[in-house]
Each structure stands twice: as C-alpha cells, then as structure tokens.
Structure 1
C-alpha cells in the first residue's frame, strides 16, 4: 500500500530542482542590471583591450607611447580616454575642467601613486615623498620636505648659494662669448640647475674639479645625465610597470637602464652622505650649512634621528631629479623662441634695463618686478613642457568623473601639452606669445596655474612642494641669460629650428646660439 506522505528526501529533491530553475532567471536579471548601469556610467573611450594584456602590444608597437596615446584621443575626438595595459587602466586627460575634477574636487580619491617597477627603483622602495603611494611614509616625508627643506625660511637661508651659482652661470657664458661666442644652451641650463641643487644639498658645485672655464667635469656630466635618464624612464611606459610578473625578463630593457642611471647618481652622492653622517656622529661638525645637514639632524619626539640614512639618500635623489628638469627646459625653449621673435627679446631687455639697469646683474630681489620675463618663462611651460604627463595620480576607490566610471587603481595622467595647447582654452595655442599671461590690472605673474589650464607645477594634495624653489630657479636662470647677453642664431642660420624631438618634448637638437655681452664692461670684470 502506497504511503501518500512525501518523504523528506523527495521534498529536498523538489526544492533543489526549483532553485536550479531560478539560476537562469537570476543570471538574466544580473545581465540586464549591468547593462542598464553600464549605459548610465561607462569607462572613458579608448581602444578595445585584449584579455589579460589589454593594449600592451599596441603600446609596444607604437613608440613613443605618449604620442600614440595623444593620437588615439585625437582620432576619437575626446579629452579623456581609457587605455588598459595589463590590468591597469590609464586615464589620459587634456581637459582643464576634468583636470580640476580630478585634482581639486576629488583630490582625496586621486591622491596615491602607483606601485610599479620604475617608481620602486627610483625611490629605493618608496622611501621618498613624490613617488610614495598614500600612507604613513608619504605623510612623514611630505612633512619633512614642506617644513624642513622647502619652507620659505629655508629658501631664504639658502639664498647665497643660489646667488653664487647665478654668478657662475654668467661667468661660463661670458667665457664662451669671448672665445667662439657659441653657447650650448641645453648644457649650460641643465648644469646650472645641477650646480644650484648640489650647492644647496652638499654645499659644493662640483664632485670633481670641473673645467678651467667653469664648465662641468666628467663627474658632473655623468651625474646630470643620470638624473635625466631617471626622469626619462620613470613612469616611462615600461612593460613591467603594468605587468609586474614580466619584470624578471625586462623585455624592453627599462629596468637595466634605470638601475644603471641610478648607480651613476648614487656613486657620487652616497659617499658624500656617508662622510657627512660620520662627521656629525664624531662631533667633527657643529653648524648646519646645507640641506644634507638639516636632514641628518632631524629628530623625532624621543630625540632620535627622524630619518634613516637610506631615507636621506633616497630623498636627496628625488630632490635632485625634481630640480634639474623644468627650469632648464623652459629656459632653452624660451631663448629659442625669442631668437626667432626679436621683438620679444626687445621687450624683455627693456623691462630688465628699467628695473635693474646695466651696471649690475639681476638679483632674486628683482624678480617680483619682472612680469614680462616671468611671462616668457610661463609661456615656455605652457607650450613646451618638459614631460608629456604629470606623475600618475592613482585612484584609491571606484568613482565617477564627469559621467565616466573610473575604477579603483586607475592611473590618471594629466597631459601637459594637452592642457597647455588646448584650443578651447588658448588662442593660437601653438604660437609663443608671453603677452597672453600679462594681467590688465598689473598683478604679478606667477608660474603656477592653479586652474590647471596649463601644468607647470602640479597642484592639490600631491602637488609640487617645490613651487617656490622651482619658480625662483626658472626665473633667475632666464633673467640672467636675457639680461647679461644678446642672443642670435649661429652664423649662416636664418632661424632656430623649433622641431620637437620624436621621442620626447625637448628641442630635437640642443640649442646652439651666439652670445654677446650687453651690460657695462665693469659688471663682467669679477669673472
């Protein structure tokens, strides 16, 4: 006789079967939900990525990468894009409005830095300020840099060292003017910056003896070349920066190049640091004379050294790297543009003669009155930036910017040429016109643009802590070159070729120009 009562086993079997019937319905609902939300918030436009590798092979094929990325944005007619390399979403931006959204409105979210091969190697494992991801180490080093190294009081304290190097700059150019008259502006400007920061950090111009005419020796040539090589390959779109497991193979050679450049820098710097630490430990030094002394003597709440020797070494490399590029590149481009537009030279000469005269050299105390000279420097920053992108800003969580979905850990890259040459913002964006930066009310021209219509020094939580130093060095360098000399194209050259290098944003060829002293003869007698 059959029992009408269903067994527990039968009930479980029926319930399980019903659940399996629900799975397809749930999947359909999920797909519809995702599609509905994707239509509302999507990634910025960009090339269709391959699984796992994304657009890696396109990046490898299309060098230099920054020109390929800008070409993609031009073809898609967009001011924001998304290019996935490996598992990383790169978000290049050429819109000032979007730049302000990233670095002002949502600055807290985009306040970290990448964990990547080039950043790790260049910061000795993220011991520094600018390259360290968000965290306690960054907070510590940022506080040290802002309050102990780059504060206005320290800037004034180190004034005499900068002044001596500004005098040395004139000496070197004057010496060349008496010989062939032909000056390599790239070499002169880069080594002026190297001299200034070595004096401020180590209280010495040269690691070696230098040249008889005041130019750099082999040691300084190698040191500065190492710094510029680090700059070129740091966040330089190396494969291992986006697919870390491939670092061991170093397919593009970026790792070995960076390591060699790093070694060429530390072989001159580290012995200086070790010797100085020893001097303070043994009581052989009592007075602070430079930035290195300051860093060594910082103490924590328990009166113990605040920084390890490794942190000091790493931070000094970052200070060096951050100092040499912007001023030298801006001055070289500005002089090149002004040689081709003599009217601009005449205006700058007139301003300098009115403010300073011809019986003495321009000093830092004069810079606030040199609005046109600063406009010339600012225009060089706008039209001819040193790097295609700023240091990446990494998102700490998923967010939406101007209707676009920006995933966590995306690398936001503000385009320096994209912002500075944006035709929506700038009239005749490809023309060098310093007058565009002169205010009708006569207010002082500054080199930083907080509205991000151009990017000279970054702003926001991860903004450049060295704006004062960078602005002073840039303006002083350009003012001394313009005030002390007239500049013209070499004999037989009608105009300076202003073509950009294919692989970077430097002039394709280093600027060679004829220099002639223009001040009263007694000004140069000290040299």
Structure 2
C-alpha cells in the first residue's frame, strides 16, 4: 500500500511538515517561554543523556528524520559518527533511545525491564488495540496483566497446544500437498507468498478452528488462497506495517493528531477495519453461541477459550471487544516471522549447498524417508534449528523490537533515561555486531551448536540477547512455543519433501535486502519430490 499525501497541497510531504512548523514555531516558542518563565532548572535537567546528534530548536532531530530516505540508515549513520552503541535522538520533544549493544539490551530488557515496560500512546497502536484492550498494545498495568495471564496460562499452555496439534498437522500436510500440486503443474514456487499462506492458515486454524475467515468456500482445491483470503492477508500485513517505526507522524501526534499526516491515520484505520471485518463476525457468532445459546460440545480453538474463560467469581473474564482487539494482534504477530525466516534460510542454503546437505542429512537420520516429519521430531532437529537461529541473527524480520516506553525515570549504561522515553533495541545491528560475532556477515549455523550439537537441545530463544529472535521480559513474546513449531515445521517439511533449485526466472542468486530487511526480490524456486508418491497427502479444507 502506498503512502498517501496530504490533500491540501501538492508539495512533498517533508516540505509540508517544515512549512507547518515554520508557521507554528514562533507561537510555540513564545508559549514555552511564557510557561517556563520564573521556573528554575531541576537537577534532572543536568543529568547526562546518552550522546546524540545536535538538533533544531523544539524540533530536535525530526527534520533530519523526515528528510532521510531510509530512517534506519539515518539512525545507524548518526550513531556510527558518534561512535556509540547507545544514543538519544530528540524527535519533537520525544527522547528516542537507540540501543545497538547486547550488554545494554540485557540491561534494558532484564535489569530495567519494569522501568521500561510501557508502550507508545500513538494513534496506530490505539487503533490496532482498540484503545488499550489487547495485551501487546496496552500500557503496563491491570489490563496488560489480565490479558497476558489469560494468553500464557490458557492459550499457550501445554494442554491447549496439545489440543490443537491436529489443526497444525492439517496445515503441515497442506503445506507439501500445495507444493506437490505446483510441481505437477510445473509451476514456480514463490517462497515468500507460500510461507505467508502457511502462516496465515495455521493462525486461522488456531484462532477459529478453520482455514478461512468467511463462511463461503473461498479457497481453491490445491491449497492456494481465494480472493477473500488474499484480501484478509494483505490487510494483516498492511496493519503490521502501521506499527510505530520512526514515522514522523507518531512524534507529531500531540500537535497534529487528526491531520492524517503522511496518510498514517487513514492507513491504519483502513487496514485494521478490514482485518476486523473478517474476524469480528466470527467472534460475535461465537459469543452468541457460548454465552446465550448454551455453547458447543467442546472447546475447540483459541476464540472458544477466550469466550468461555471465567474469573474466580464465575463471571466472564474477557469481553467481546477485548477478544476482537486481541484477535487483530494475534494476526499481525504470527505470520511475518516464520515467512521471513523461511525465505532467507532457503536462500542462504542455496548459496552454501554444504549447509543444505547437512540439514537434509539430519532430517534423513532423525526422521528418515518413510514418514513425514512431525512436531515430536523438533527436539532432535538441532542443526535445522541452528539454521533458524542463524537466520534470526543475520536476517531479522524488523530493524528494531516493538517500542518500549519508560514508565519512570531510569538509567542505561550510566546515562539518564527520562520518563516517557521511547526505547528501541536494534535487531539487525546487534545480530551483525562484530564485537559480539566473529565474521558477523557470514552465514554459519555451526556457531549456535555446542560441541557436536547433540549434547544440548538447541532453542530458538536467545536469552543473552546476542541477537533477537523472540521478544523477552515483561513485554516478551508469549507465543515462543507456537512460533518455534511453525518455523521449524515449515522449514523441515519443505526440505524433507522436495529438492530445491533456483527457478530460471529468478536469475542469479542475490542476497540483497530492501529497507524492510526482506529479500529485495521474492525467492522463486523449482521443486522436485524426494519421497515416495504415497507420502504426499491431498489438500484438506
């Protein structure tokens, strides 16, 4: 979806912002002088902030951010020039603390976790979370704690994950049924599209107990998405792209909220409403069924669990609006990570065939070629998980983890962190930091193995934050188990079921990335079955 420009002028967006501030600057400055007259500086104003580039009056570093084609490159270059791994940028009065060090990241997300556990109060997060009703977008407090407790103890419990293993198995089978049908038609496999379809289908099964979000049959008989499912998936990624990511509109909201700067407000509203248009009718129908009609014979999926959950007084714990908001959050959190990891892992394996050979050898030794790999095999697929870890390290799905906000004054690396500061921990910069990793740009899964790789089960979680796979701390990812299952099963079934080579239309293999850290060109491959024909299942709707 392209960025929308202001309709009131044909000037480029950066010029619009600067003109608005030029007009407002005098009055704002005068107002601040009036309000601050007679006041003396407090001791906090003398505390030392992390180093940062010089800025403009009031605007701080916002003009440079606006004018930068790549905002993350601007941040990285400024910190490189400052020779620092923690920096403070001033974006129109908001302190943005950027962290590119694993040591400082551990301090922020472990030692100072409680101090830095809030979320930004911006339009996009308020819209996605329906004004703080979901877990991930809520400030730290009662609502956050209630939703997190329900999700961790109920949805992500071993009991629930075991209950839903059949649903996940259906999509693991559909995965190779889909590819096999493409092979039979001599079709090209777009790995990015294919991986997203898998993530989408698994998420729908977990949430709603079915592959699609509409009552009518919208899927094809071979596993590809129908038109309505495509629109739903596109709106999920459109919503994901509206999360805070150094958008100037987020920092200007306190002054220009409602102006739809850069089309930001309209984008998040349109995409979120579209996501809700698919999920809300299902939730309304289920609430009616469970809370008014009498329910079903059994609880079958996450929505059923949330609707039927009661507190110690026998009252329903989660409101329908909270369930709807949490459903949007689940959708935008579950799909991009496995798809991104899969595409980059396959690309790196094709670039270094010896890595692919090792992964295939492990699959043949652990699973064999007489049955399909199952979730129960995951603990023994250490080399495959090491590949996933190495992909997380060098090819994360985002430059920074979701923004944390300081609930109170704190310190990091000896520097003063004011209340309200936005904390951004770098994923790509930490994972590729030469102070942490030898030859950081070399893809080498063996670095994640201990000894022969058998002495200890490999986890996709990096507890020491030498790279970031899943979030940690109070704001950490609650779906680590589900995420690990989805990621490893996606890669394992892909590799076990087929031999892969670049499709001629892709051209020479290039590992160039775009500004969003995706492969600059979607990976296009040709598949050839490597198992007996009877092992390839048929598609299950």
Q: TM-score, normalised by structure 2?
A: 0.88
Rounded to whole Å, the distance in 2 between the matches of 1:75 and 1:122 is: 36
1:438 aligned partner: 449
Rounded to whole Å, the distance in 2 between the matches of 1:76 and 1:177 is: 53
1:90 aligned partner: 96
Moved over 6 A (4+): none
1:216 aligned partner: 225
Match status 1:247 vs 2:253: no
Rounded to whole Å, the distance in 1 between the matches of 2:308 and 2:234 is: 30
Deviation string 1:210-251 (CA, Å, 9 cap, x unpaired) is 123210111111111111111112012233322222121122
Match status 1:264 vs 2:290: no
Shift, 1:480, TM fit: 0.8
Shift, 1:525, TM fit: 5.5
Q: How does 1:3-402 map to 2 (within 5 A)?
A: 38=46, 41-207=47-213, 208-244=217-253, 245-280=255-290, 281-283=292-294, 285-402=296-413
The one of 474, 491, 496 aligned to 1:478: 491
The one of 497, 516, 519 aligned to 2:528: 516
The answer as to whether partners of 1:181 and 1:516 remain within 8 angstroms in 2 is no
The answer as to whether partners of 1:96 and 1:453 remain within 8 angstroms in 2 is yes
Shift, 1:492, TM fit: 6.5
Q: How does 1:482-493 map to 2 (within 5 A)?
A: 482-491=495-504
Q: Please state whether the residue corresponding to 1:82 is helix, strand or coil.
A: strand
The one of 449, 455, 460 aligned to 2:468: 455
Shift, 1:286, TM fit: 3.2
Rounded to whole Å, the distance in 2 between the matches of 1:525 and 1:375 is: 28
The one of 507, 519, 538 aligned to 1:507: 519
Shift, 1:395, TM fit: 1.1
The answer as to whether partners of 1:116 and 1:240 remain within 8 angstroms in 2 is no
Rounded to whole Å, the distance in 1 between the matches of 2:156 and 2:440 is: 33
Rounded to whole Å, the distance in 2 between the matches of 1:34 and 1:460 is: 31
Rounded to whole Å, the distance in 2 between the matches of 1:407 and 1:148 is: 36
Rounded to whole Å, the distance in 1 between the matches of 2:534 and 2:220 is: 24
The answer as to whether partners of 2:174 and 2:538 remain within 8 angstroms in 1 is no
Cα 1:140–1:210 shift into 2, 3 Å: same
Q: Please state whether the residue corresponding to 1:81 is helix, strand or coil.
A: strand
Gaps of 5+ in 2: 1-36
Shift, 1:76, TM fit: 1.8
1:468 aligned partner: 481
Q: Please state whether the residue corresponding to 2:98 is helix, strand or coil.
A: strand
The farther-off stretch of 56-65 and 196-205 is 56-65
Deviation string 1:419-466 (CA, Å, 9 cap, x unpaired) is 110110111111111111111162111101010000011111211111
Q: Please state whether the residue corresponding to 1:92 is helix, strand or coil.
A: strand
Rounded to whole Å, the distance in 2 between the matches of 1:495 and 1:174 is: 25
Rounded to whole Å, the distance in 1 between the matches of 2:183 and 2:514 is: 27
The answer as to whether partners of 1:359 and 1:522 remain within 8 angstroms in 2 is no
Highest Rg: 1 or 2? 1
The answer as to whether partners of 2:177 and 2:537 remain within 8 angstroms in 1 is no
Gaps of 5+ in 1: 1-26
Deviation string 1:463-502 (CA, Å, 9 cap, x unpaired) is 1111111111111111111111111111276642111113
2:15 aligned partner: none
Rounded to whole Å, the distance in 2 between the matches of 1:524 and 1:150 is: 30
Q: Please state whether the residue corresponding to 1:390 is helix, strand or coil.
A: coil
Rounded to whole Å, the distance in 2 between the matches of 1:312 and 1:497 is: 42
The one of 509, 512, 520 aligned to 1:496: 509
Rounded to whole Å, the distance in 1 between the matches of 2:461 and 2:525 is: 28
Cα 1:525–1:449 shift into 2, 3 Å: closer
Shift, 1:526, TM fit: 4.6
Rounded to whole Å, the distance in 1 between the matches of 2:466 and 2:56 is: 34
Rounded to whole Å, the distance in 2 between the matches of 1:400 and 1:237 is: 22
1:10 aligned partner: none
Rounded to whole Å, the distance in 1 between the matches of 2:355 and 2:185 is: 27
Rounded to whole Å, the distance in 2 between the matches of 1:63 and 1:89 is: 21
Shift, 1:284, TM fit: 5.2
Deviation string 1:363-394 (CA, Å, 9 cap, x unpaired) is 00001000011011111111110111111111
